[in-house]
Structure 1
Amino acid sequence: MASRLKHLPLPLAVSGGLLVVAAVAGWFTAGSAGLIGGAGGVAVVAGGYALSSVAVAWADSVLPKMVMTVGLATYLFKFSLLGLVIFAVPRGWAGIPAMAVAMVVSVVAWLGAQVWWTVRAEVPQVTYHLEPGYRPYDDEHEE
């Protein structure tokens, strides 16, 4: 399963650095509530993406046909949990703006790190040498 999670260290490292930045920025803008909100926002996003990665990698290692089902179930679980967390936070709490900003920035940072890793990953390629005009389904799948 580790071979399916090679992309995970970079986004987690970026999220770790962003957690520190968000916590400090939150503390400067809203005190201890901002610190908790900023750090919590980054932690929620990073934890959610990491959970999805591990769940999908597990499904792929056990039975590849389950990848879509597990991915969608994980998505449903994450957003249900996120909804519960949002409703549990009291209205007017001073850390909400820091948490919201941290979540948005964390999503962009995670996706940026994952794209950066993917573009630079060494992925084996297969080159096919087919005859010009080759059409594999012309004779086999006539209706």
Structure 2
Amino acid sequence: MGGLLVAAAPLAWWRDGGTGALGALAGVALVMLSYTVSSLIIAVTDLRARHLLMPVALGTYILKFAIIGVVMWIVAETGWGGLPWLGALVIAGTLIWVAAQAVWVWRAKIPYVEIEPS
């Protein structure tokens, strides 16, 4: 996410000035905040009530994307010039975050069965 911001913020600044750079920063921050909070909620649920993991995870993601959509809609109503960068970086940040999680899962040594202590 930091690499995305380092690449996109100067481009946004060059193209649309401070408003574009602020939109890029807001897009990355929104994705980072939403995925961090949902990851923490899912981790706590996994530790405390594993049987609720699937509904909590799905509910968290539905709520997260609804909140991102509402934020984008509210910003669109203001006519703010940084909205295109905000939207583009929300999309790019989401794709990068999901790709990073997929790579982590692919490389993780996760057992297929429960390992019982001996």
Give the TM-score range, shorter chain. Answer: 0.7 to 0.9
Larger Rg, first or second structure (1 or 2): 1
Distance 1:75-1:118 versus aligned 2 partners, 3 A rule: closer
* Structure 1 partner of 2:35: 49
Aligned to 1:36: 22
Query: CA distance change for structure 1 residues 84 and 20 in 2, over 3 Å: closer, same or farther?
Result: same
Q: Give 2:9's aligned residue.
A: 23
| Counterparts of residues 68-107 of structure 1 (less than 5 Å) | 68-89=54-75, 90-107=77-94
Deviations 1:110-130 (A, max 9, x none): 12212222222223356xxxx
CA drift at 1:91: 4.5
Which has a greater percent of helix? 2
Q: What percentage of aligned pairs have identical amino acids?
A: 38
State the shift of 1:40 in Å: 0.9
Alpha-carbon distance change, 115 to 72 in structure 1, aligned in 2, over 3 angstroms: closer
Q: How many angstroms does 1:59 deviate by? A: 0.4
**Displacement, 1:77?**
2.7
Root-mean-square deviation (CA, aligned residues, Å) is 1.9
TM-score (norm 1): 0.68
Q: Which ranges of structure 1 fall in alignment gaps of 5 or more residues? A: 1-14, 127-143
Q: Which of residues 92, 96, 109 in structure 2 aligns to 1:109? A: 96
* Alpha-carbon distance change, 125 to 69 in structure 1, aligned in 2, over 3 angstroms: closer
Letter in 2 for 1:115: A
Q: 1:79/1:119 Cα in 2 relative to 1: closer, same or farther (>3 Å)? A: closer
Report the AA paired with residue 60 of structure 1: D
Moved >4 Å (runs of 4+) = none
